[in-house]
Chain A
């Protein structure tokens, strides 16, 4: 193991490490902790310039105020309405494409695979004008469907990369034996491969959920109003309205961050497995 385990070091070294851990963590998360405290500060504290002292009271009401007098709930709901169909769509499509690219040998296989990989890296701006135009022409501008359709298509790139590599690592014999037995191609996919890729489906689901929940650029390009905008774009426009009302901005930020954070903690193993794909040979 590298570095040397602290257990094998002197008592002082061990104690130092035990103290350093929480200290480093607090420094690392300091901006976040500041916002968390601010979100619980009564507005009177801010008015009196009490930005750093102990809050005079814990104002959980800030969290309620965020929902009152602002379409915050609608923004949050829109985020779910965009994110969930995107996860289902992108994962479903990439099970198919990943299977095709991992199992069949045909001439353009690698080229198609690298088209998905390369497309996944391009800057969003090179897609912006045509995608916006396409969405307008389909009558889907400023709609949840229009935004989700784009996300499904774009995320299919990353998901295909992931699925293809995952399926490729499965034992080949399973599929070959089934073929010799005369099992149809679709049957092989549905009954043999699909049950085996469940871990990949879980990993992709949490990752895509986080990516799409946190998307801001496409939300501002393809949607405009509180009826359709997800929370990222919503938070930005609320930030404009709540000038200097940092207790509200903070509470809103914390709320907007909650779903992906909850997702991460619930499915940590899958999340990290997905994110670190390829980090180990």
Chain B
């Protein structure tokens, strides 16, 4: 298409019926390719998963209807409760990324020489893959030679093998997950701090506000949009945790570090035969938990959108 076609159609009547129809149809033509892809790969599969959760299915032979049996089995499944409990621990502890991120952002919000490089380097852990983060921390925790193991040996006399102990393993993985998540929250707050109105800060300063008080009453209210995004990405990140569990422990030892996302994968594509129906049921539970949060986020965004 060339520009020459533009003058040709000029003043040909922007309000002719043909144009009107074109304007009605246009959004759907623009939407079609993206929407079809998104429906086929994302929206419809959500419904399909719910449907599959009522079947027993190994992925190959025909499905057989079992009603809510998969869900009843879940109620008696020890591993399911372990995963659920770990998801709650993840969710609660992951929230620490927000204050820590804010703390580092405040620390770095200066204008000394080279500060930009520092900001980028602090952000580093978020850019690298969780697989690499998982491997780095596996090495960090490794018994016998890992840095943490050696340090605890020096200070406590006995080395602590974090990932080999069912009581500490989940916390060890969460610390690894917090590393990139803190970096993410930090960058959100750095951007937010950039936009904080300087005149309000100065005015508050003249009124004698400083330190924590200033942060709480003057700065944090202005950082609200950044905090909202930080909460959204942290909740989603906590419930999506899969990579680190898979890389660092495979859910072990004795299944003690499983989370729902990992347990679902394990059941659906288990080496002892695929249990797609049961896996789908676990996924539906995870989805339901996530929906509580997603609806909250959407509700807030919807209100903001209406307010515009």
- List residues of chain A with CB under 8 Å of any chain B CB: 1-7, 17-18, 20-21, 24-25, 28-32, 34-35, 38, 49, 51-52, 93-94, 96-97, 99-101, 103-104, 106, 109-110, 112, 114-119, 121-134, 149-150, 152-154, 156-157, 160, 179-187, 189-191, 210, 213-214, 216-217, 220-221, 232, 235-236, 239, 246, 249-250, 253, 256-257, 260-261, 264-265, 268, 272, 275-276, 278-281
Name, among B6, B239, B287, B302, the residue most crowded by chain A CB atoms within 10 Å (CB to CB). Answer: B6
Please report the C-alpha to C-alpha distance between residue A17 and residue B261 in the assembled complex, in whole angstroms.
42
Please report the C-alpha to C-alpha distance between residue A260 and residue B240 in the assembled complex, in whole angstroms.
21
Report whether B37 and A153 are in contact in the complex, using a CB–CB cutoff of 8 Å. yes
Q: Taking chain A's interface residues, is the majority helix, strand, or loop, or is none over half, making it mixed?
A: helix
B3 interface hit (Cβ, 8 Å): yes
Report whether B265 and A264 are in contact in the complex, using a CB–CB cutoff of 8 Å. no
B13 interface hit (Cβ, 8 Å): yes
Please report the C-alpha to C-alpha distance between residue A41 and residue B266 in the assembled complex, in whole angstroms.
36
Which residues in B have their C-beta under 8 angstroms from that of A100? 26-28, 30-31
- List residues of chain B with CB under 8 Å of any chain A CB: 1, 3, 5-6, 9-14, 19, 22-24, 26-28, 30-31, 33-35, 37-38, 40-46, 48-49, 52, 59, 104, 106-107, 109-112, 115, 118, 120-125, 127-132, 135-137, 139-140, 142, 145, 147, 150, 179, 184, 187-189, 191-196, 198, 201, 210, 214-215, 218-219, 225-226, 228-229, 232, 236, 239-240, 242-243, 246-247, 260-261, 264-265, 268-269, 276, 279-280, 282-284, 286-287, 290, 294, 297-298, 301-302, 305
Listed A/B pairs (12) with beta-carbon separation below 8 Å: A29-B121, A38-B139, A96-B30, A126-B284, A129-B48, A132-B59, A179-B14, A182-B14, A187-B5, A250-B135, A268-B120, A275-B184
Q: Given that A1-B198, A183-B6, A268-B120 are known contacts, is A126 also in contact with B45, CB under 8 Å in the complex? A: yes
Please report the C-alpha to C-alpha distance between residue A28 and residue B123 in the assembled complex, in whole angstroms.
10
Please report the C-alpha to C-alpha distance between residue A157 and residue B46 in the assembled complex, in whole angstroms.
15
**Minimal Cβ-Cβ distance residue in A for B128:** A257
Report whether B131 and A214 are in contact in the complex, using a CB–CB cutoff of 8 Å. yes
Chain B's nearest CB lies how many Å from the CB of A8? Answer: 11
Please report the C-alpha to C-alpha distance between residue A157 and residue B42 in the assembled complex, in whole angstroms.
9
Chain B's nearest CB lies how many Å from the CB of A53? Answer: 12
Which residues in B have their C-beta under 8 angstroms from that of A1? 109, 111, 196, 198, 201
Which residues in A have their C-beta under 8 angstroms from that of B135? 35, 235, 239, 249-250, 253
Chain A's nearest CB lies how many Å from the CB of B176? Answer: 8
Please report the C-alpha to C-alpha distance between residue A155 and residue B42 in the assembled complex, in whole angstroms.
10
Report whether B10 and A181 are in contact in the complex, using a CB–CB cutoff of 8 Å. yes
**Minimal Cβ-Cβ distance residue in A for B211:** A3
Report whether B290 and A104 are in contact in the complex, using a CB–CB cutoff of 8 Å. no
| CB < 8 Å neighbour of A121 from B19, B112, B236, B242 | B236
Report whether A122 and B42 are in contact in the complex, using a CB–CB cutoff of 8 Å. yes
Chain B's nearest CB lies how many Å from the CB of A223? Answer: 13
Report whether A123 and B121 are in contact in the complex, using a CB–CB cutoff of 8 Å. no
Give the A-B pair count, Cβ closer than 8 A.
312
Which residues in A have their C-beta under 8 angstroms from that of B38? 115-116, 119, 153-154, 156-157
Report whether B286 and A123 are in contact in the complex, using a CB–CB cutoff of 8 Å. yes
Report whether A34 and B37 are in contact in the complex, using a CB–CB cutoff of 8 Å. no
Q: Given that A134-B40, A182-B13, A249-B135 are known contacts, is A6 also in contact with B110, CB under 8 Å in the complex? A: yes
Which residues in A have their C-beta under 8 angstroms from that of B265? 125, 128, 217, 221
Report whether A180 and B128 are in contact in the complex, using a CB–CB cutoff of 8 Å. no
Report whether B41 and A7 are in contact in the complex, using a CB–CB cutoff of 8 Å. no
Report whether B9 and A114 are in contact in the complex, using a CB–CB cutoff of 8 Å. no
Chain A's nearest CB lies how many Å from the CB of B37? Answer: 4
**Minimal Cβ-Cβ distance residue in A for B293:** A121
Please report the C-alpha to C-alpha distance between residue A183 and residue B260 in the assembled complex, in whole angstroms.
53
